[in-house]
Structure 1
Protein backbone atom coordinates (compact mmCIF):
# COMPACT_ATOMS: atom_id res chain seq x y z
CA UNK A 1 0.00 0.00 0.00
CA UNK A 2 1.29 3.47 -0.87
CA UNK A 3 0.34 6.91 0.34
CA UNK A 4 0.05 10.06 -1.77
CA UNK A 5 -0.20 13.52 -0.24
CA UNK A 6 -2.14 16.41 -1.76
CA UNK A 7 -1.43 19.87 -0.35
CA UNK A 8 -3.90 22.62 -1.26
CA UNK A 9 -3.25 26.34 -0.74
CA UNK A 10 -5.06 29.48 -1.80
CA UNK A 11 -3.36 31.18 -4.72
CA UNK A 12 -1.09 34.05 -3.57
CA UNK A 13 -3.40 36.72 -4.99
CA UNK A 14 -6.43 35.38 -3.07
CA UNK A 15 -7.06 36.87 0.39
CA UNK A 16 -6.85 34.41 3.28
CA UNK A 17 -9.01 35.79 6.12
CA UNK A 18 -8.47 32.72 8.31
CA UNK A 19 -4.69 32.97 7.92
CA UNK A 20 -4.87 36.69 8.68
CA UNK A 21 -6.89 36.05 11.85
CA UNK A 22 -4.31 33.52 13.02
CA UNK A 23 -1.50 35.96 12.21
CA UNK A 24 -3.14 38.73 14.24
CA UNK A 25 -3.58 36.46 17.27
CA UNK A 26 0.01 35.16 17.41
CA UNK A 27 1.61 38.22 19.09
CA UNK A 28 -1.09 38.11 21.80
CA UNK A 29 -0.05 34.52 22.48
CA UNK A 30 3.64 35.39 22.73
CA UNK A 31 4.69 34.36 19.21
CA UNK A 32 6.60 37.35 17.85
CA UNK A 33 8.31 37.74 14.50
CA UNK A 34 5.74 36.03 12.27
CA UNK A 35 5.20 38.22 9.19
CA UNK A 36 2.23 36.36 7.66
CA UNK A 37 0.20 33.16 7.88
CA UNK A 38 -1.55 31.32 5.04
CA UNK A 39 -3.82 28.42 5.88
CA UNK A 40 -4.24 25.38 3.64
CA UNK A 41 -5.44 21.78 3.51
CA UNK A 42 -3.55 18.48 3.43
CA UNK A 43 -5.02 15.19 2.22
CA UNK A 44 -3.31 11.81 2.68
CA UNK A 45 -4.62 9.22 0.24
CA UNK A 46 -3.79 5.54 0.67
CA UNK A 47 -3.69 3.62 -2.59
CA UNK A 48 -4.60 -0.04 -2.94
CA UNK A 49 -1.53 -0.57 -5.12
CA UNK A 50 1.78 1.09 -5.86
CA UNK A 51 2.20 4.82 -6.34
CA UNK A 52 3.34 4.52 -9.94
CA UNK A 53 3.01 7.34 -12.48
CA UNK A 54 -0.50 6.29 -13.52
CA UNK A 55 -1.77 6.20 -9.92
CA UNK A 56 -0.23 9.58 -9.08
CA UNK A 57 -1.78 11.05 -12.22
CA UNK A 58 -5.20 9.74 -11.12
CA UNK A 59 -4.72 11.40 -7.72
CA UNK A 60 -3.75 14.61 -9.55
CA UNK A 61 -7.05 14.40 -11.49
CA UNK A 62 -8.91 13.78 -8.23
CA UNK A 63 -7.25 16.80 -6.62
CA UNK A 64 -8.07 19.07 -9.54
CA UNK A 65 -11.73 18.09 -9.66
CA UNK A 66 -12.67 17.37 -6.03
CA UNK A 67 -10.07 18.40 -3.45
CA UNK A 68 -9.09 21.82 -4.81
CA UNK A 69 -10.88 24.66 -6.55
CA UNK A 70 -8.44 25.45 -9.37
CA UNK A 71 -9.92 28.94 -9.78
CA UNK A 72 -8.67 30.07 -6.36
CA UNK A 73 -6.37 27.26 -5.14
CA UNK A 74 -3.11 25.66 -6.17
CA UNK A 75 -2.24 22.10 -5.23
CA UNK A 76 0.79 19.81 -5.13
CA UNK A 77 0.76 16.03 -5.29
CA UNK A 78 3.65 13.91 -4.03
CA UNK A 79 4.27 10.38 -2.87
CA UNK A 80 4.71 10.16 0.92
CA UNK A 81 7.91 8.60 2.18
Structure 2
Protein backbone atom coordinates (compact mmCIF):
# COMPACT_ATOMS: atom_id res chain seq x y z
CA UNK A 1 0.00 0.00 0.00
CA UNK A 2 1.02 3.58 -0.57
CA UNK A 3 0.12 6.51 1.65
CA UNK A 4 0.08 9.75 -0.34
CA UNK A 5 0.01 13.11 1.43
CA UNK A 6 -1.18 15.97 -0.80
CA UNK A 7 -0.62 19.61 0.20
CA UNK A 8 -2.54 22.29 -1.71
CA UNK A 9 -1.99 26.05 -1.37
CA UNK A 10 -3.09 29.13 -3.24
CA UNK A 11 -0.47 30.49 -5.61
CA UNK A 12 1.51 33.42 -4.25
CA UNK A 13 -0.11 35.74 -6.81
CA UNK A 14 -3.64 34.90 -5.56
CA UNK A 15 -5.12 36.86 -2.66
CA UNK A 16 -5.94 34.74 0.39
CA UNK A 17 -8.81 36.37 2.32
CA UNK A 18 -8.95 33.51 4.85
CA UNK A 19 -5.25 33.88 5.54
CA UNK A 20 -5.67 37.63 5.97
CA UNK A 21 -8.52 37.08 8.45
CA UNK A 22 -6.50 34.56 10.46
CA UNK A 23 -3.50 36.89 10.51
CA UNK A 24 -5.72 39.69 11.84
CA UNK A 25 -7.15 37.40 14.51
CA UNK A 26 -3.66 36.29 15.58
CA UNK A 27 -2.55 39.92 15.81
CA UNK A 28 -5.61 40.74 17.94
CA UNK A 29 -4.56 37.88 20.25
CA UNK A 30 -1.18 39.61 20.56
CA UNK A 31 0.76 37.29 18.24
CA UNK A 32 2.27 40.30 16.47
CA UNK A 33 5.30 38.39 15.16
CA UNK A 34 3.14 36.62 12.55
CA UNK A 35 4.04 38.20 9.21
CA UNK A 36 1.73 36.30 6.85
CA UNK A 37 -0.77 33.42 6.83
CA UNK A 38 -1.71 31.28 3.84
CA UNK A 39 -4.55 28.78 4.18
CA UNK A 40 -4.42 25.49 2.29
CA UNK A 41 -5.74 21.94 2.14
CA UNK A 42 -4.24 18.63 3.21
CA UNK A 43 -5.39 15.21 1.98
CA UNK A 44 -4.23 11.67 2.69
CA UNK A 45 -4.84 8.97 0.11
CA UNK A 46 -4.28 5.25 0.58
CA UNK A 47 -3.59 3.55 -2.73
CA UNK A 48 -3.06 -0.11 -3.58
CA UNK A 49 0.49 -1.00 -4.47
CA UNK A 50 -0.66 -2.57 -7.75
CA UNK A 51 -0.24 0.83 -9.41
CA UNK A 52 2.77 0.85 -11.75
CA UNK A 53 3.48 4.60 -11.86
CA UNK A 54 2.26 6.16 -8.62
CA UNK A 55 3.73 9.59 -9.43
CA UNK A 56 1.88 9.89 -12.73
CA UNK A 57 -1.34 8.74 -11.10
CA UNK A 58 -1.10 11.24 -8.23
CA UNK A 59 -0.25 14.11 -10.60
CA UNK A 60 -3.25 13.24 -12.78
CA UNK A 61 -5.58 13.11 -9.75
CA UNK A 62 -4.30 16.46 -8.51
CA UNK A 63 -4.64 18.16 -11.87
CA UNK A 64 -8.05 16.71 -12.72
CA UNK A 65 -9.84 16.83 -9.37
CA UNK A 66 -7.95 17.64 -6.17
CA UNK A 67 -6.69 21.11 -7.13
CA UNK A 68 -7.67 24.08 -9.21
CA UNK A 69 -4.48 24.36 -11.26
CA UNK A 70 -5.31 27.93 -12.29
CA UNK A 71 -5.03 29.33 -8.75
CA UNK A 72 -3.50 26.55 -6.63
CA UNK A 73 -0.14 24.84 -6.34
CA UNK A 74 0.33 21.36 -4.95
CA UNK A 75 3.01 19.05 -3.74
CA UNK A 76 2.80 15.51 -2.50
CA UNK A 77 4.74 12.85 -0.64
CA UNK A 78 4.49 9.12 -1.34
CA UNK A 79 5.26 6.65 1.42
CA UNK A 80 5.16 2.90 1.06
CA UNK A 81 3.25 1.36 3.95
CA UNK A 82 4.35 -2.07 5.07
CA UNK A 83 1.59 -4.28 6.45
CA UNK A 84 2.20 -5.43 10.01
Q: TM-score, normalised by structure 1?
A: 0.87
Residue correspondence of structure 1 range 42-81 to structure 2 within 5 A: 42-49=42-49, 54-80=53-79
Q: Which has the higher helix share?
A: 1
Unaligned 5+ segments in structure 1 are: none
Q: Over alpha carbons, which structure has the higher Rg?
A: 2
Unaligned 5+ segments in structure 2 are: none
Q: Structure 1 residues 65 and 44, CA, compared in 2 at 3 Å: closer, same or farther? A: same
Q: Which runs of 4+ in 1 moved over 4 A?
A: none
Query: For 1:40-75, what per-residue CA distance to the aligned partner results, in whole angstroms no more than 9, with x for missing partners?
Result: 0011111111676x0121011101110100000111
Query: For 1:21-57, what per-residue CA distance to the aligned partner results, in whole angstroms no more than 9, with x for missing partners?
Result: 00000022232200000000011111111676x0121
Count how many residue pairs are aligned between Structure 1 and Structure 2: 80
Equivalent residue, structure 2, for 1:11: 11
